[in-house]
A and B are shown apart, each in its own frame.
Chain A
Amino acid sequence: MPKKSRQTTALFKGGEVLSTNAGPLRMDVLVVKGVITRVGEGVATPEECEVVDCSGRLLIPGMFDLHVHACEPGREDREDIGSASAAALAGGITGMQIMPDTSPVIDGGGLVQGILDSAAKKSGIEVIPAGAVTRGRAGEELSGIAGMKARGVRMLTDADQPVANPLVLRRAMEYARDIGMTIGSHCETRELSGDGCVHEGARSYQLGLPGLPAISEEICLYRDVRLAQFTNCPIHVQQVSTMDSMKAVEFFKAQGVRVTCEVSPHHLIFSQDHLVDYNTLLKVNPPLRPAADREALVEGLIAGTIDCIATDHHPHTEFEKNLPFWEAPYGITGLETAVLSLYHHLVKPGLLGWDVLIRAFSSRPREILGLDPIGIEEGRVANFFIFDPTATTSFAPNSFRSRSQNTPFVGKELDGAIVRTICR
């Protein structure tokens, strides 16, 4: 599939073309050898050109996912770059930034090259590796930053491991700032998290599970963003999950700090109230928060306080997710289901517009990484997907392109269908 779509030549006829700035317009889109050559009404069909009837369907710019755990190298039983890319394409995602929390950790230029080589072989989408802030994500010495930068790394993050020592983080920020990179921060104060595994509140009390208090996230967020302000380094907060985290981001943005942040589809859709029967498929970090936080996150996304949506796609085997709740690893997969689940739960019911989704899941993430903009416009590389709002998609077990299926949507049916993804 990736290789075939690389050189697409086709006329996409009669679909509604969506872009960030304008409402839907019924247009024909002609793609020749992977490049959009015409967008307009009544485009004539060139000879020997595939014609794709898009009437009743939407043409939407490809999404970019800033937060993917592709598990390669080290845990290819969970996922690799090829299977993650296939899952992304099926989900309308045409680019992804992959996390460095692999084995070995991606903390130097040579390792980044390995990822790029693998992606060139296996992936039909844009793959941007993130690099570790510190060697081995151990929080002590800085990683090989310049070598990674030279190979296209744009963001440094120790992934799910917060840089505990603020002095190390300060140095990393001072270095990253000068070299033109962004620090990505998973905000969590480990000492406050303790043994916690779900949001600390009424639900954790009822379930008898140790709680992860909201302040564990918020205090680390204040610290990291304040350090970014102090060092004047751009910072991207990964996975904002509480109202107060969001307010803090808003406060620092108003001060002119170069801070951006993301939210996951699951934090926009689910709350702690969905945690019944110790369903490990909803065990995530940061944890699902109270419903009021979820509502605030949706509002913050619409208002633009939250810059983008990122899945935190985190594959785990069935065995791992069948462990007792406390022991089971954090994370759910999101690449295949993100767009559809957001459509089903938020766009279709009228809680979120496509314009917000495209801004937050396509254009803004690309801006944050400094990637070329995309859009369904003449002269641009074809990078969009065809969406059928009237169809449904069922996520039967074992039907996933991802090697793992640890998602709350397994066995579920969602409204909407991604008919085809065109990229490159």
Chain B
Amino acid sequence: MIPPRKDLLDIASLSLEEVQFLLETARPFKDLFTRSVKKVPTLKGKSVLTLFYEPSTRTSSSFEIAAKRLSADVTNFQVNTSSVVKGESVIDTVDTLQAMKIDYLIIRHQQAGVPGLIARHTHAPVINAGDGFHAHPTQALLDAFTATETLGALEGRRILIAGDIRHSRVARSTSVIFRKLGAEVAFLGPGPLVPPTSHTGIRTFRSWQDAFKWKPDITYLLRVQLERQRGAFFPSIGEYHRVYGLNDDRLRRVRDEGIWVMHPGPVNRGVELTDAVMNYERCLVNQQVENGIAVRMAVLYWLQPAEKEVPGA
């Protein structure tokens, strides 16, 4: 067992060994899901709080299910974002939670760095469930788990991440984990949504044509926030879909070349993809969701004191 950490705030600060350990630990947890009783007593008597400053259904549910399958008591604290006013201190909230003797804190916040800020002010392990455009480490872990499960070792594999890179914590964390595991990553998207290679350190394609020539093994589509259009990041949803979406023509090429498709959800049909993509036999979206629970269990397990055994190991 790799020595546990207190917090999981991003992927960049994890060593390759830690990433591999978490992926290996998630495997037996996933095996549990096929049993009639999906629960293990690992976190019995422990309390887990999900603190979401940003609306989310799938990530908070996934964490909740993961914690419950480890027998933890879960409280969901959905902060009404309209009541969060500038000047209200996140630290004050955390002091309150500290007094409630929470054992694990799972935090999503619209501003980068907030989980780290909270982690420095609490003894409880903190898991970053997404902070601003910064990081979404459990998403990256589930993506890596899904890709590895599908392709085997990722060494030398090519992963194309398409869409709104600039505003995506998923792109930041997922590109880091894929590269850590030896894969090559490239970005595809319009200039205003893809920071230059000099900032990202990652090659960028401006067209699907060029991206296909690169022979990616996986195409990872990002959700395009519709409101970005108002910020003049691209002219219109229709134009985005025509130029950068995975439309049915491009799906034919994807199918011919046996490329796998991933997406962190929730998807925008008619923007970054079409219905046909969701029905494509190599679309991994549902596996991603399922694997999310397993890797989140692994993370909760790891951030524990070190005595416990991995179930089934």
Contact = CB atoms under 8 A, between A and B. Distances in A.
Interface of A: 200-202, 204-210, 277-278, 319, 322-327
Question: Which of A200, A202, A278, A324: most chain B Cβ within 10 A?
Answer: A324
B134 A207 contact: yes
Contact of B131 (A202, A208, A322, A323): A208
B91 A278 contact: no
11 contacts: A200-B199, A201-B199, A206-B172, A208-B134, A209-B132, A209-B134, A278-B112, A278-B117, A322-B91, A324-B111, A327-B111
Contacts of B86: 327
B90 interface: yes
B112 A326 contact: yes
Interface residues of B, number: 25
B199 A208 contact: no
Contact of B112 (A201, A319, A322, A325): A325
A44 B201 CA distance: 68
A410 to B, nearest CB: 15
Contact of B109 (A200, A205, A324): A324
Contacts of A209: 112-113, 132-134
Interface string B14-43: 000000000000000000000000000000
Nearest to B136: A208
Nearest to A194: B231
B200 A205 contact: yes
B135 interface: yes
A181 B194 CA distance: 45
Contacts of B116: 277-278
B82 interface: no
Contacts of A200: 199
Contact of B89 (A205, A206, A278, A323): A323
B140 to A, nearest CB: 13
Interface string B102-143: 000000010111101100000000000001111100000000
Question: Which of B90, B112, B131, B198: most chain A Cβ within 10 A?
Answer: B112
Contacts of B111: 324-327
Contacts of A277: 113, 116
B135 A208 contact: yes
A-B interface, 5 closest residue pairs, ranked by CB to CB distance from nearest? A208-B134, A278-B113, A208-B133, A208-B112, A324-B111
A323 B86 CA distance: 9
A339 B291 CA distance: 56
Given A207-B112, A207-B113, 15 more contacts: A201-B198, A202-B199, A202-B201, A204-B199, A208-B172, A209-B113, A209-B132, A209-B133, A209-B134, A324-B109, A324-B112, A324-B113, A325-B112, A325-B117, A327-B111
